[in-house]
Amino acid sequence: MTPKELVQLAVEAMGRAYAPYSGFYVGAALLTEEGRVYTGCNIENAAFSPTCCAERTAFFSAIAQGERKFAAIAVVGGKGGTITETAPPCGVCRQVMAEFCPPDFPIHMGGPDGRIETVRLRDLLPYSFSPDHVK
Ligand code: THU
């Protein structure tokens, strides 16, 4: 699965976003080490704080199915579902990634015109609190 293919799956997932309050649609596609893909979209709530980001929806969906080893994630987002710039994962989602993924875990962010920017988890969340601190 190429980054481009994974981003395309994230774009499709973005179409399923439930974001009536912000109008900001996000989609994510999470690739397991064995090649399976779990997608997620943001799911908002009238009470606001129960809102779940697309990345966490994808992670929690995969983890609930027994997955534990992940190879990459693609993320896209934009107001009304129009991608005008890359949408970096929020801090909470970065922390969830740090729980399950190694420091070199790649995050592919889809931008306009099919552009893809890839960053590593260690660069998005340096000096992180990790499972090793607790175990
Ligand atoms: N959102 C995500 O889905 N992922 C992120 O990493 C950042 C924010 C969602 C949450 C909310 O529904 C909307 O984008 C606006 O913040």
Ligand 1 midpoint to CA 13 (Å): 13
53 labelled binding-site residue: yes
DSSP string over 30-52: EEETTS-EEEEE-B--TTSTT-B
The confidence score (pLDDT) of residue 91 equals 98
Residue whose CA is closest, atom 4 of ligand 1?
53
Give per-residue pLDDT as tens, 10-54: 999 999 999 999 999 999 999 999 999 999 999 999 999 999 999
Ligand 1 binding site (Cβ under 6 Å of any ligand atom): 19, 22, 24, 26, 42, 44, 51, 53-55, 89-90, 93
CA 60 to ligand 1 centroid distance, Å: 15
Burial class (CB within 10 angstroms; exposed 0-12, middle 13-18, buried 19+) of 32: middle
The tens digit of pLDDT for each residue in 83-131 reads: 999 999 999 999 999 999 999 999 999 999 999 999 999 999 999 999 9
Q: Give start and end residues of each alpha helix (H) in 15-130.
A: 54-64, 91-100, 121-124
Q: Among the options 12, 55, 67, 99, which is catalytic? A: 55
- The one-letter amino acid code at 52 reads C
What's 111's DSSP letter? Answer: -
The answer to whether 55 is a known catalytic residue is yes
Quick one: pLDDT at residue 51? Answer: 98
- The pLDDT score that the predictor gives to residue 97 is 98
Query: Which pLDDT score is estimated for 52?
Result: 98
The model's pTM is 0.98
pLDDT tens by residue, 63-91:
999 999 999 999 999 999 999 999 999 99
